[in-house]
C-alpha cells in the first residue's frame, strides 16, 4: 500500500492507498473537497468539522438518491425512475426543508446538533 498526499479545503492529508486505487482515491478526494468548499463558500458555516459533517451528509444523500434511482429503474417503468429523490442538500435552508419533510432527517440533524455544539444549531 502506498501513501499519497492530498489537499482537502486547503489542508494536507497523507492517505494510504491500495495498489491500483490512486485514481479512484483522488476522485473521491476531489468530490469531498468540492462538497466542503461549496458549503464553506456559501458562508453560512465556518467550523471545519461542521462543514465536513454537512459535506458527508450531502454525499451520502447523493449516493442514496443514485441507488434509489437505479433500483427504481430496474424494478419499474421509466415513470418510477422520474420519481426518485431530489438531489442532495447544498445549503442550510435546503437541509431545513428536507428535515421538515422527513422526520428521520430532522432527528438526525437534532442528534448532530447535540453532538457537535451547544448552540442547538448544526447550520
Tell which wins on pLDDT, 25 or 83. 25
Task: Examine residue 122 and state whether it is found in any structural domain, yes or no.
Answer: no
What pTM value is reported for the model?
Answer: 0.59
Which pLDDT tens digit goes with each residue over 77-88? 555 445 555 444
| Segment 93-119 mean pLDDT | 59
Residues 122, 94 contacting (CB under 8 angstroms): no
Helix (H) or strand (E) holding 8: strand 2-8
Task: Examine residue 72 and state whether it is found in any structural domain, yes or no.
Answer: yes
Q: Which three cell numbers stand for residue 100?
A: 421538515
Q: Is the model's pLDDT at 94 over the cut of 60?
A: no
Domain that holds residue 30: 2-116
Which pLDDT tens digit goes with each residue over 28-69? 999 999 999 999 999 989 999 999 999 999 999 999 999 999
Domain count for the chain, please give it: 1
Cβ-proximal residues to 107 (8 Å cutoff; 6+ apart), any chain: none
Amino acid at each position: 500500500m502506498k501513501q499519497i498526499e492530498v489537499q482537502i479545503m486547503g489542508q494536507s492529508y497523507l492517505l494510504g492507498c491500495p495498489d491500483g486505487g490512486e485514481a479512484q482515491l483522488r476522485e473521491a478526494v476531489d468530490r469531498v473537497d468540492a462538497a466542503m468548499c461549496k458549503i464553506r463558500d456559501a458562508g453560512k458555516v465556518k467550523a471545519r468539522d461542521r462543514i465536513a459533517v454537512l459535506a458527508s451528509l450531502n454525499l451520502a444523500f447523493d449516493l442514496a438518491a443514485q441507488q434509489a434511482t437505479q433500483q427504481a429503474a430496474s424494478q419499474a417503468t421509466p415513470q418510477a425512475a422520474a420519481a426518485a429523490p431530489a438531489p442532495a442538500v447544498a445549503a442550510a435552508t435546503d437541509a431545513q426543508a428536507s428535515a421538515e419533510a422527513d422526520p428521520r432527517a430532522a432527528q438526525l440533524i437534532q442528534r448532530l446538533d447535540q453532538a457537535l455544539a451547544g448552540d442547538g444549531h448544526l447550520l
